[in-house]
Amino acid sequence: MSKSVDQPTHLDRSSLSLEQIVEHFEADRSRALRRGRFVQLLQVLVITGLLGGAFQASGFFSSYLGDGAIGRIANFLTRLLPDLQPDRLFEDRTTSGSLMYWLYDLDLWLKLLAETVQIAIVATVLGAIFALPLSFLAARNLTPAVWIYWTVRRTSELVRTLPDIIVALILVAAFGLGPIPGVIALTLGTTASLTKLFAEANEAADMHQLEALQSSGGNWWQQLRFGLMPQVLPNLASYSLLRLEINVGGAAALGIVGAGGIGVELSRAITFTEFDTYFALLLLIVGLIFVLDLTSEAIRDRLIGAEKTA
């Protein structure tokens, strides 16, 4: 029994009774616990201090929100809601209180919404096209040389640290206002993140199938096409769809810096304090992303299902 207890080495166990051994053990245990508690307390104090510092630095405590901040937020929220009159709901856009008066520029908004989706789709497709060859270079099992693997991986990490909006901001200075800087910024971000995801899918692939093709005389391209692609394609498609969802949200936000899409109207509505318009645009964006999420979730489920049965 005494052997199973982890005793300090200085203790001569043979000369002690069972009670004494237990006593020593308890003393050691409580000492260890106290030390553990002390470290824990120290950790809690340090983290609390850091958090407090963070809240302080971000102006959480010191911000002057004005008198009756709650009332102002409530006031703001009521200004978000449109003024709809039930008896005039279906009048035309010149009648205040009607639906069309609230959604006064619906045609333009739907066009911009379509533009947002197109920016996202084009950027995702381009990003996936660029990422595919890069992912072979960035996969440890397929790369021709270690330094290529390393360079591609680090570059994609570096690009991923830069938010799309910042890139778009710089690109707007070069390309001018419009959807093109948005497309390029999103393509860049998509390429970087898909390169990583694709490369990881490639690394998880079963190499035996490529080896079988190689041993029966298949060249590099044939190995990839018939050995690797059937294994990873469902995964790659699933990742691309996930990225498409992210890009639609990104494209909606990009307009705020002037890079095309519905965001342009969003920032206009805010600058002209048309909060009910802002709310309408918000509903449109959220509705779009919601529908898109459901669609791509359904497609992804089918893709993963196809992969599992294959």
Q: How far is the CB of 122 from another protein (least distance, A)?
A: 5
Which of 99, 112, 113, 119 touches another protein (CB under 8 A)?
A: 119
Q: Which of residues 243-262 bind another protein (CB under 8 A)?
A: 249-250, 252-253, 256-257, 260
Distances (CA, A) of 38 to 24, 35, 42, 48, 202: 21, 5, 6, 15, 47
User: Is the alpha carbon torsion for 265, 269, 270, 271 positive or negative?
Assistant: positive
Q: Is 236 exposed, middle or buried (0-12, 13-18, 19+ CB in 10 A)?
A: buried
Q: Which of residues 74-103 bind another protein (CB under 8 A)?
A: 76, 80
Give yes or no for residue 163 binding another protein (CB under 8 A): yes
Which of 110, 148, 158, 306 touches another protein (CB under 8 A)?
A: 158
Q: Which is nearer to another protein, 82 or 249 (CB)?
A: 249
Cα–Cα dist 141/152, whole Å: 14
Give yes or no for residue 218 binding another protein (CB under 8 A): yes
Size of the site for another protein (CB under 8 A): 71
Give yes or no for residue 290 binding another protein (CB under 8 A): yes
Give yes or no for residue 63 binding another protein (CB under 8 A): yes
Largest distance between two CA atoms of the chain: 101
Give yes or no for residue 270 binding another protein (CB under 8 A): yes
**Nearby residues of 241 by Cβ (< 8 Å), 6 or more positions away:** 296, 299, 300, 303
Give yes or no for residue 130 binding another protein (CB under 8 A): no
Give yes or no for residue 273 binding another protein (CB under 8 A): yes
Q: Which is nearer to another protein, 38 or 60 (CB)?
A: 60
Cβ atoms of 134 and 191 closer than 8 Å: yes
Q: Which of residues 3-32 bind another protein (CB under 8 A)?
A: none
Cβ atoms of 185 and 168 closer than 8 Å: yes
Q: How far is the CB of 8 from another protein (least distance, A)?
A: 28
119's tokens: 């920016």
Q: Which of residues 180-199 bind another protein (CB under 8 A)?
A: 180-181, 183-184
Q: Is residue 307 left, alpha or beta, with left meaning phi > 0 and alpha meaning psi from -120 to 50? A: alpha
Q: Which is nearer to another protein, 58 or 151 (CB)?
A: 58
**Nearby residues of 77 by Cβ (< 8 Å), 6 or more positions away:** none
The stretch among 28-36, 102-110, 173-181, 200-208 that binds another protein (CB under 8 A) is 173-181
Q: Which is nearer to another protein, 132 or 253 (CB)?
A: 253
Give yes or no for residue 170 binding another protein (CB under 8 A): yes
